[in-house]
Amino acid sequence: MRYFAIAGLLMIALTGDVYAEKMYVSDIVKVTLRTGSSLDHRVIQMLESGNEVEVLEPGKDWSRVRSTSGKEGWLLSRYISPEIPSDLVLGELQEKHDKLLVRAASMEEANIKNVEENKKQIEELTRVSASLNEISNRYEILKKESADFLKLQSRYKDVTQKLEKQTRRATELNKLLLQRNIQIGLLGAGVLFFGFLIGYRTKGKRRRSSLI
């Protein structure tokens, strides 16, 4: 019987560990964790509100629990609850609220930076667009001027070629005219010379006839 009793106690202890439930010390200041299920047993640890305990053996008046420090003992059941105490909930909510505030501030700062960056990008885009328009206008003007220049250059070449032709023709005409003038001059001189000879002979004949 002794062995069966020990085995039964071990099974109860193991079963209690398997089905252990997490609970919390309720909203009071401090409670005592004792070595047994009465106020006459020795206090082994003081627990405060919000401390987590693991219930090993629940009971109506007393429950056997294990604290986070690893100590096992008995605690009044009315001082533990499966619900998280309001101060812990409030603390968690406050922590989440603080994190959200930090995140919101960070997002607002990032949003301001994005707005400023977008503003800078819009200004840069405006400057680039204006530069492109100016370059495009200059290109159109240059293209038009280039076309006019090419036309003028083509006309200049045509006029130059025509002028060269006319110059060559004028030179040739001048040469021909000079040759003709020379020929005419020579011809006139010859005519005068022959006229002189004819006149001279005629005068000689007249003198001879008058002498006879």
Q: What is the pLDDT along the chain (212 residues), one digit of tens a residue?
A: 433 333 444 444 444 444 566 765 555 568 889 999 999 999 999 988 778 899 999 999 999 999 999 999 999 988 888 877 666 666 777 788 788 878 877 887 777 877 777 788 888 888 877 877 887 787 787 777 777 767 767 776 776 787 788 778 877 777 777 777 676 666 666 666 666 666 666 655 555 554 45
Residues 79 and 62 sit within 8 Å (Cβ to Cβ): no
Identify the domain boundary among 30, 57, 84. Answer: 84
Q: How far apart are CA 136 and CA 142, in angstroms?
A: 10
Asked, for residue 178, whether it belongs to a domain, the answer is no
Identify the domain boundary among 64, 84, 104. Answer: 84
Q: How far apart are CA 95 and CA 102, in angstroms?
A: 11
Asked, for residue 174, whether it belongs to a domain, the answer is no
Name the pTM for this structure: 0.36
Considering Cα of 167, then 170, then 176, then 180, what sign does the dihedral take? Answer: negative
Structure tokens at 208: 């001879």
Q: Which residues pair with 81 in a beta bridge?
A: 24
Q: Tell me: do 7 and 80 sit in the same domain.
A: yes
Residues 58 and 19 sit within 8 Å (Cβ to Cβ): no
Distance of CA 40 to the CA centre of its chain: 76
Q: Tell me: do 26 and 76 sit in the same domain.
A: yes
- Number of structural domains (the chain) is 2
Q: Which residues pair with 192 in a beta bridge?
A: none
Q: Which domain does 80 fall in, by range? A: 2-84
Q: Tell me: do 56 and 114 sit in the same domain.
A: no
Q: How far apart are CA 178 and CA 176, in angstroms?
A: 5
Q: Tell me: do 67 and 110 sit in the same domain.
A: no
